[in-house]
Structure 1
Amino acid sequence: MLGMGALSALALPPVHCLPVLLITFPALGRAINRASGWKNAAWAGALFGFAFYTANLYWLVNAVMIRAEEFWWFVPFPSLGCALILAPMVAAAAAFSYLAPAGPRRLLALAASWTLFDMGRVFLFSGFTWNPLGSALAVPGVAGDVLIQPAAWIGVDGLTFFVVLGALFGGQALQDAVQVRMGRPALIFPRRADRLRIAACAAFMLCASLTASIIRLNTVHPAGEAGPVTVLVQGNVPETEKVGHLNPRDIFMRYLHLTADGVLQARKLQPPLAFADAVTRPIVFLWPETAFPGSGLLQDSPRARQMIMDWAQGADAGFIGALRVDDNGRYRNSVIALAPGGEMTAFYDKARLVPFGEYQPPFIPLQIVPQGGMAAGPGAQTWHLPGIPAVGPLVCYEVIFSGLTVDRHDRPRWLANVTNDAWFGDSAGPRQHLSSVRLRAVEEGLPIARAANTGISIAYDGFGHELARLGWGKTGTLVVPLPAALPAPLFARCGRSLPVLLSLAVFLAALVRIQRKPVK
């Protein structure tokens, strides 16, 4: 099971090797099917889950290596520790699936329970819903644009259900067909008719999904006010410089120069003044999460805020990722909105903090996070700033939380995500993070602009179609006029209740015993 779990990680971004699931998930399904009891089934799930999460979260080690001289003893723990915490969710899914009768119905129960417990990761500490298997469909380019459109109705968790279901049934049917051809007994689907039905169902569901996606892409159109012209500033500051508070003035000046250049480009996109009927779109620039050393600079120095906006002459607002100190002396990871005059018009505090990174769970006896970490904000907000379309700010990995990124009672027109993936190096981590940004755009039907310190800075429209990107390790700006929002899709209105109800219905159906009438 360890090998099958680790191999499954290849299906996730940035590799997207989906066919591997046709090998690995049937192996898990057979182990649960053959288990002598629910405890053995749970152990099979635990081993699979431990290897799966260890492999797909390997890049967490990079964050510790930045301060290896201080936390060298902690190097083995990020990936292995997270895997130990997350593996019980797979173990529980395997144990619950054992309640269903052996055979196809147990596979059906496993697909449903995997999805439900995967969604339950939102309740672990401050939540860690990283890498749901549905994100494997977010392949680069037009193919991914089509594959992820069902997220507008059922979210990434609904995609996860169908990925696991297809891998279990499709993979096992293929393997049984090979077994029979080689003169060996089939393991779960001995009858050719059953294998053909599975193939027909898979083909039908795939065709229906692709057809619905293509129809959506061609019939749903942006409506209402267009988004602003966004200037995404990517300073490309090594994390060692920020952690060590090295060259703060040089970094600050780098951001000022980049911002001035980006805003100038944005102004050139505006219609000439001679066209009186032309609509001038607001210009908003974004600096990444904790953009530069000197956490109190923006909060304590009106002069620094004024300098930023003076260099950004012509911008209607600036969104700056920065640490701030609240009235109780607690640090908060925030986005601060600056007006043209340098005034702080709004701030948003990150609500979902990274366990062991931004806050320390109280049961950990060792002091890992300085001063116990940061304080969390109240949750999703919508800013209504003068002259700016309503915007939902997000800090870093808050964007991974499906259904929890937008204020449902005050829907914004676009999303602004500031992040810093420099901690994780040029690894799979930033690419996995990026797939979450893309899926949130589809689920909410909202364009999203993302400024990342070392990359990847990017903008998507409400279909999850890439508008522009600035790659990893580059210094520069990205100027992107955002389109209008799409009408709120079904998932944006109903949230995660849809994949929950879908999975529960399938799980209960798998438990029902069908009484067959005896043949007379």
Structure 2
Amino acid sequence: MRVESGLAAAVYRVERVAVALAELRGWRRYLAAFAAGAVSVLALPPYDFLPVLFITVPFLIWLLDGVGEPTRSRRRRVLWRAGVVGWWFGFGYFLLGLYWIGHAFLVEAEKFAFLLPVAVTLLPAGLALFTGAAAALARLFWFRGYRRVVVLAVSWTVLEWLRGHILTGFPWNLIGESFSGSDALMQAAALVGAYGLSFIALLIVGSPAAFDTRVSPAQRAVDGELLTAPLIALAGLALIWVGGAARISSAELKYADGVSVRIVHPNTPFADDWADENRVLTIIGQLLRMSRDPTPERPRGIDGKTVVVWPENAVPVLLARQPYVLSAIGRVLPEGALLIAGSNRGEPEPGGPSDRLRVFYNSLYVVGAGGEIVETYDKHHLVPFGEYVPLRHWLGRIGLRQLVQFQGSFDVGPGPRTLTLPGLPPVSPLICYEVIFPGEVVAPGPRPDWMVNITNDAWFGVHAGPSQHFSQVRLRAVEQGLPLVRAANSGISAVIDPYGRVLKSLPLDRRGVIDAALPAPLQPTLYARLGDFFLAFLLLAASAAAWYGRPRVKSRA
């Protein structure tokens, strides 16, 4: 009897909240949507509080219940209201999730601080268009009970995928990244990828909204979804966790034969990266000492089967045009060792003088023991407004410039590559932002054995941004079944195994080095083989299941 009375009390509370949200009108409805989106950020790194989504996503669904039914005469009005609700939810989600971008405008505050309020609000406002479109699309097919949760999960996932691809894409803070706080839960990315995690997460966390405010209490009692849907969803979440935990516990981690890695984590203050000549020499000297000196793990220092990794833009000069720096690197590296380092690269215009550089790239260099450049990779996924300005000829007239050391945009590299290096397993290089794109971190053709990501997250201080970036790095390792070595100027640097587990790391704002063996790869995962095609099949199957036998909504008595 106590259990039954407790359940009845819980159902009554849910009903009161759901009906109250559905009955909100005007600015109160949009304020509630904004608040739900803002609170949803707690599910993402560095907070990783997944349970909050069991509240905020149902809140969004109940708010969408209240916008009316899209009959032929009212369709545009209802879909507009649904889109606005979704936009406000997304605006709160992205505003609180991406607030740290404003820190980049303070690096050179005298030049860019005046743009901070615009940038911090315009990007979330633009990204919220995708959540608004997802809400409007879902509301067009707003079936009864749990079926509308499925519809929202499908439309949200489709719009997230589009967000990751339109205008070069920006798949940051996908809702599925809420699973990255658990090593076990994130293993599902090996099957469905990060977009698939979003789909699964929404199916689960939206389950309390099986309570449908638009149907009569008698019909809700017949449906019985209010309790069964959340229980099944929780069982599904538990099953995903158990499956992921079993995958990890049965893993036999292997290592590349004799290959070791040294990650240099210099924590160089960003504003000093391109300072006077004495400061440049100090930075280079520090990098060389950290690359050479012994550590407790390597008391004799590095040997001939070591790859040393420096962060993005670690060298505050154009490395290929500084023979004295290359010579110094060659003296530090023993025979057979290699250095992977980030540096900008400049080229003259075709037919122009060789000493007048006009084309610049954000590049990764591989340097051998003799100081020779073995390989070069140019970044192909550039950061909008950070490394290039879209429509720059127009936007430049109103004062928008990218936050890079050179005037004008970086040029785009040819695309993903697999580098074959002497004495090392083949590697896929990724510079900073490139690692956030699911399914685009490995080039077609021969599969690499590992990935290397160099970055400089010092742009974003010690806020949430570096933690969010790092969670995406771990998801790429799980998706591809490949280990990943990451060197970040100020953090987070790490060696990550092909299950996404952090083997060794250095946190934000701490100088040091990481010495570790290089993990071996797994066999290609389902996601590595099929990409998002398996997810497309799941979305079609879920859409068909929601559509088949759908009952008509009966208005509340």
TM-score, length basis structure 1: 0.89
Q: Equivalent residue for 1:275?
A: none
Query: One-letter code of the match for 1:108?
Result: V
Match of 1:451 among 462, 487, 503: 487
- CA–CA separation in structure 1 for the residues paired with 2:291 and 2:512: 9
Instruction: Name the amino acid aligned to 2:320.
Output: Q
CA–CA distance in 2 between the matches of 1:330 and 1:262? Answer: 39
1:293 aligns with 2:312: no
CA positional deviation for 1:203: 3.5
Give the RMSD, CA atoms, in angstroms: 2.6
Which residue number in structure 1 is paired with residue 52 of structure 2?
20
Residue 337 of structure 1: which of 349, 366, 370 is its match? 366
Task: Report deviation, 1:18.
Answer: 1.3
Give the equivalent residue in structure 2 for 1:368: 401
Match of 1:77 in 2: 118
Which is further off, 208-217 or 14-23? 208-217
Question: d(CA) in 2 for partners of 1:159 and 1:188?
Answer: 32
Q: Does 1:123 align with 2:144?
A: no
User: For 1:279-299, what per-residue CA distance to the aligned partner results, in whole angstroms no more than 9, with x for missing partners?
Assistant: x982100110001322x1x11
Q: For the structure 1 residues 286 and 225, does the alpha-carbon distance in structure 2 shift closer, same or farther, using more than 3 Å as the test? A: closer
Q: Which of 418-427 and 402-411 deviates more?
A: 402-411
Q: Contact 1:231/1:480 (CA < 8 Å) preserved in 2?
A: yes
Q: Could you tell me which residue of structure 2 aligns to residue 257 of structure 1?
A: 289
Paired AA for residue 493 in structure 2: S
Which amino acid in 2 is paired with 1:152? Answer: A
Q: 1:189 to 1:22 in 2, by over 3 A?
A: farther
**1:482 alignment partner, SS class:** strand
- What secondary structure sits across from 2:519 in the alignment? coil
Q: Please tell me whether the aligned partners of residues 89 and 118 of structure 1 are also in contact (alpha carbons under 8 angstroms).
A: yes
**Which structure carries more relative contact order (alpha carbon 8 Å, separation 6+)?**
1
Report SS of the residue matched to 2:494: strand
Partner of 2:323: 302
Task: Give the Cα separation in 1 of the matches to 2:462 and 2:217.
Answer: 44
Give 1:223 deviation, angstroms.
6.7
SS in 2 for 1:76: helix
Deviations 1:352-407 (A, max 9, x none): 11100100001534341253310111221111111111111100011111111011
Q: Compute the displacement of 1:315 (Å).
A: 5.6
Alignment match, 1:63: 104
**Paired residue total:** 493
SS at 1:103 equivalent: coil
d(CA) in 1 for partners of 2:304, 2:66: 62
Q: Does 1:392 align with 2:425?
A: no
Distance 1:489 1:262, change over 3 A: farther
Counterpart secondary structure, 2:170: coil
Partner of 2:94: 53
Residues in 1 aligned to 2:375 and 2:90: alpha-carbon distance in whole angstroms: 42
Answering whether residue 176 of structure 2 is matched by residue 134 of structure 1, we say yes
Alpha-carbon distance in 2 for matches of 1:227, 1:498: 37
Q: Distance in 2 between matches of 1:56 and 1:245?
A: 36
| Paired residue type of 1:165 | L
Deviation at 1:23, TM superposition (A): 1.4
The alpha-carbon deviation at position 459 of structure 1 amounts to 0.9
Structure-1 separation of matches of 2:221 and 2:388: 52
Matches within 5 A, 1:206-285: 206-221=237-252, 225-226=256-257, 228-244=259-275, 247-261=279-293, 266=298, 268=300, 282-285=305-308
Shift of 1:267: 7.5
1:168 aligns with 2:206: yes
- Structure 1 counterpart SS, 2:479: helix
Tell me the residue number matched to 2:230.
Answer: 199
For 1:106, the equivalent position in structure 2 comes to 148
Corresponding residue to 2:185 among 147, 168, 176? 147
Provide Cα deviations, 1:84-141, integer angstroms capped at 9, x if missing partner. 11011001111110121343322211111111111111223322111111111111xx
For the Cα contact (< 8 Å) 2:255–2:518, is it kept in 1? no
The verdict on how the C-alpha distance between 1:114 and 1:261 changes in structure 2, with shifts beyond 3 A counting, is: same
* Compared CA separation, residues 287 and 515, structure 1 to 2 (3 A): closer
Residues 1:401 and 2:441 aligned together: no
1:386 aligned partner, one-letter code: P
SS at match of 1:481: strand
1:219-253 deviation per Cα after TM superposition (whole angstroms, max 9, x unaligned):
45457844831110011111111254571111111
Query: Mean alpha-carbon deviation: is it higher for 204-213 or for 9-18?
Result: 204-213
User: Letter of the aligned partner of 2:416 in structure 1?
Assistant: A
Contact 1:355/1:361, CA 8 A, preserved across alignment = yes
Structure 1 unmatched ranges of 5 or more: 180-184, 271-279
- Assess if the C-alpha contact under 8 Å between 2:295 and 2:301 holds in 1: no
* CA 454–514 in structure 1, closer or farther in 2 if over 3 Å, else same: closer
Amino acid at match of 1:496: D
1:182 match: none
- What does residue range 91-102 of structure 1 map to in structure 2 within 5 Å? 91-102=132-143
Higher mean displacement: 16-25 or 350-359:
16-25
| Of 146-155 and 99-108, the range deviating more from structure 2 | 99-108
Provide the secondary structure at the position in 2 that maps to 1:455: coil
What CA distance in whole angstroms lies between the structure 1 residues aligned with 2:299 and 2:523? 29
8 A contact 1:7–1:24 mirrored in 2: yes
Code of the residue aligned with 2:192 in structure 1: it is: I
Residue ranges of structure 2 left out of the alignment (5+ in a row): 1-32, 69-77, 350-357, 553-557
Work out whether residues 460 and 467 of structure 1, in 8 Å CA contact, stay in contact via their aligned partners in 2.
Answer: yes
Q: Secondary structure at the match of 2:110?
A: helix
Do the aligned partners of 2:149 and 2:209 also contact (CA within 8 Å) in 1? no
1:456: Cα distance to partner?
1.1
Tell me how far apart the structure 1 counterparts of residues 190 and 112 of structure 2 sit (CA, whole Å). 42
Structure 2 CA distance for partners of 1:65 and 1:50, relative to 1, 3 Å? same
Look up the match of 2:540.
Answer: 504
Bigger Rg over Cα: 2
Q: Give the secondary structure class of the aligned counterpart of 2:262.
A: strand
Q: 1:320 to 1:150 in 2, by over 3 A?
A: same
Is residue 293–residue 301 contact of structure 2 (8 Å, CA) maintained in 1? no
Q: Within 5 A, what are the aligned runs for 1:313-352?
A: 313=334, 316-328=337-349, 329-352=358-381
Distance 1:211 1:23, change over 3 A: closer
* Cα distance, 1:501 vs structure 2: 2.7
Q: TM-score, normalised by structure 2?
A: 0.83
The 8 Å contact of residues 427 and 448 in structure 2, kept in 1 or not, is answered as: yes
Q: Quote the Cα distance in structure 1 between the aligned partners of 2:543 and 2:275.
A: 52
Contact residue 103 and residue 188 of structure 1 kept, 8 A? no
Work out which of the residue numbers 61, 65, 71 in structure 2 matches 1:33: 65
Separation of aligned partners in 2, 1:504 and 1:250? 58
Distance change >3 Å, CA 126–CA 350, structure 1 → 2 = same
Q: Secondary structure at the match of 2:365?
A: strand
User: In structure 2, how many angstroms separate the alpha carbons of the residues matched to 1:281 and 1:151?
Assistant: 36
